[in-house]
Each structure stands twice: as C-alpha cells, then as structure tokens.
Amino acid sequence: YYQRLIKDVNQFNEMSSKHELKISFNVYGLITSREFQLAKTYIERLRARLPQEYCKPNIVSMLDLDWNLFILKIRREIGGEKLWTLKKQVVIFKNEELLGDDEDLLEFVGSKYRFTIFEEFECIGAQQFINYIEQQKVNGNTFVYFTIAVDQQIIGTLLFELYATAVPTISKIFLKTCAKKVGGYSGTCIQRIVWPSWIQCGGWCLEQYKVPCENYSISHNKRGVLSMCNNGKHIDNCTQFFVTLEPTPWMDYKYVAFGQLINGDHVLRILQNIPTLYEEPLKKIDIVKSGELDLRPTFGPKDLSYLKDFLATRDPISGLHPDVTDVRDCSSDYSLGSDNQPPCDIIDYLLEMYREENE
C-alpha cells in the first residue's frame, strides 16, 4: 500500500513539474493591427504543434477604444520603461511577466525554433473586424460613421455601434438622420466641448423629433458613450447628441445612452483638446459626412493589395498621443497638425472603400 502511495505521489510530482515547465502566454491587442494578428498566429501555432510545452494561450482582441483604455491602465498599474515606450498595438506576457511586442515574440521563437509563418496578417485583421460588424448586425445592432474636419481639414472618422436592440426607437431615428443627404448630420457642426466630460454635436438647425426618453438601460460608464440631449424634462430632441470623454455616471437616468464609439479614439482626443471659450470651440469643427456603415462580408486578396497601397500612400491622420488627455500635458510633437502623427489604419481603408462603393 505504501509503495503504491509513494509511486502515485511521485507520478503526481512529475506531472506537476512538467506542468510548471509549460510556457503560458497572455496576448492583448488591437484586432485590426498586423502585429497583434502576427503574435496571435505564432502563439496558436506553437500551442498546436507543441502542446506538451505550451499552455493554452489567453488571447484578447480589442477594438480601438478598448485597446487605448487597456494599455493606459496596465501602464499605470505595472509601469516600467519597456511598457511605457511600447509603440506597437499588442502587448505579450510570458509566464505572467512582460515579454513585449511582436518583435520580442519573434526573437523568442527564433532562439528556440526554426519556422516562419507566411500569412497576410493585415487581411486577417480586416476580416476579423468585418466578422465582428456582421455578427453584431445579426444581433440587431447597427453602425454609423462621422467624418470630422477641423478648420476644413479632415482629421479622421468616428465609428459608433448603436444598441438598436436595447434602445430601438432612438437608434432608428438617429440612424435615419445619419443617412440623410439633406437635413441630416452631414454638414452640421460640433458646437460644444465640455472638458473633460463630453462633446455636444448636431448643430442647431435640424428638424426636431420629440419623443419620450425610451429607457435608461445603457450606462454612461466609460469613455465614448453616445447619448441623446434632452430639454431637461425627459423629452429627447433626437437630433442633438453628445459623446462622453470619461465615465459620467451622474448622467444615468437623466439622458438616454444608445451607442458606443468603437473606432476613432484618436479623433475624439483631438476634439477634446481643442481650445474653447465658454465651452464653444475656437476652431470650426464640422461633420463632413455621416452615414450607416455596411461593409462587404468578405475581404479578399484584391482588397489586400489595395489596402497596402492605401496604407503606403495616404497622408497620416492628425492625432494626439494615446496617453495624452490634456493638451497642456503634451509636447509640441503631438499638437494638432504635427508631422508626428499616428498612421491611418485598416478601418480607415474599409470606410474609404465603403464610401467609394456607395457614391
């Protein structure tokens, strides 16, 4: 009995030691970024080929706003020069310790193995984003975009997901107003910036649709929440709206939230840092174009070729550094109109492709 017990204990210890020797990866990144898709693919292949050496990885893909909030959060919590100087849109942890970005992963893989994966990672990222859009549409949600210009210079696009299943009436009216070529949001202004809480949009000249506040099921619990203005008597005017710049829980049960920014956080940061006088922006901010987003369900090799040309030749979008929340804290390198700007991304191409197909 004791010999069998000792044998079982030894086997357990052997299994435990083998498990402890296994390498675990945690990968977080922007769903459309090439570096995230590269890291994700390599780590999944390592796990598939060498399950005895690698644990099942924890891979978390994020949309634009969620990624910016996440990377800022872990920089503050973990700290360290390597994390604060990380410029890629992916962060990798090996055995709960920071490894770095995709280049650090490739260096690790190259030191142990000899294999290379040839994939069009841009195409994978674009297709996964399209799949997200299509899945949310199946769930009943819709998507709208606003192309924004400051002093007649386009700075980028805000892309919102409307929670049409939770707040159907207001979402339907808002979508209809976005899609109008005349009498819609195209050509209206962003007339108010209440730093650091929200920006107010929609101008003053649109037809008002007065409807009761539908419900308060969506909370103003994060940055980028899309919500309707009202007249203070729980009556939405359904044309003027605002976008939160930070969590504003005091707005719950006062204003109806019905959407969320999913791409274009760098554009929102530009807007929030524009100087104001009594909450009125001192620069002219226009919604150049608005509409419903309806992407093609597939992204093929031909699209990839066009995408690479687009990313290589198009002018960068103006923007502030993702960690800058106050224009007073940023250096001149990250001021509006600087040459040191974030590159346009895959979603910019998808929006451009969609607009060209529908014009």
**Residue 152 CA, distance from chain mean position:** 25
More confident: 180 or 317: 180
More confident: 233 or 85: 85
Q: Where in the chain is the domain with CATH 2.40.100.10?
A: 134-295+345-357
Band of residue 352 on the pLDDT scale cut at 50, 70, 90: low
pLDDT of residue 3: 57
pLDDT of residue 127: 83
The token pair that represents 273 in the structure block: 């840092």
What is the fold, at CATH topology level, of the domain defined by 134-295+345-357?
Answer: Cyclophilin (2.40.100)
Determine what percent of the chain is predicted with pLDDT higher than 70: 74
- Over residues 113-128, the pLDDT tens digits come to 887 887 778 878 888 8
Judged against a pLDDT cut of 70, whether residue 341 lies above it is answered with: no
- Over residues 125-160, the pLDDT tens digits come to 888 888 898 899 999 999 999 989 999 888 888 999
Highest mean pLDDT out of 152-156, 215-219, 313-317: 215-219
Judged against a pLDDT cut of 90, whether residue 331 lies above it is answered with: no
pLDDT of residue 63: 92
pLDDT of residue 329: 32
Average pLDDT of the residues in 8-13: 56
Judged against a pLDDT cut of 50, whether residue 66 lies above it is answered with: yes
- Over residues 250-299, the pLDDT tens digits come to 999 889 999 999 998 989 999 999 999 999 999 999 998 898 887 665 66
pLDDT of residue 338: 32
pLDDT of residue 303: 66
pLDDT of residue 293: 84
More confident: 331 or 86: 86
- Over residues 226-236, the pLDDT tens digits come to 999 887 766 66
Determine the residue type at 48. A
Judged against a pLDDT cut of 70, whether residue 305 lies above it is answered with: no
pLDDT of residue 108: 93
HEC string of the chain equals CHHHHHHHHHHHHHHHHHHHHCECEEEEEECCCHHHHHHHHHHHHHHHHCCCCECCCEEEEECHHHHHHHHHHHHHHHCCHHHHCCCCCEEEEECCEEEECHHHHHHHHHHHCCCCCCCCHHHHHHHHHHHHHHHHHHCCCEEEEEEEEECCEEEEEEEEEECCCCCHHHHHHHHHHHHCCCCCCCCCEEEEEECCCEEEECCCCCCCCCEECCCCCCCCCCCCEEEEEECCCCEEEEEEEEEECCCCHHHCCCCCEEEEEEECHHHHHHHHCCCEECCEECCCEEEEEEEECCCCCCCCHHHHHHHHHHHHHCCCCCCCCCCCCCHHHCCHHHCCCCCCCCCCCHHHHHHHHHHHHCC
CB 36 within 8 A of CB 27: yes
Q: Where in the chain is the domain with CATH 3.40.30.10?
A: 14-119
Average pLDDT over the chain reads: 80
pLDDT of residue 354: 59
pLDDT of residue 306: 67
Cβ neighbours of residue 320 under 8 Å, at least 6 residues apart? Answer: 266, 269, 270, 273, 327, 330, 334, 335, 336
Terminal alpha carbon distance of the chain: 81
Average pLDDT of the residues in 316-341: 32
Count other C-beta atoms under 10 Å from residue 114's C-beta.
6
CB 144 within 8 A of CB 201: no
Say what the pTM is.
0.79
What is the fold, at CATH topology level, of the domain defined by 14-119?
Answer: Glutaredoxin (3.40.30)
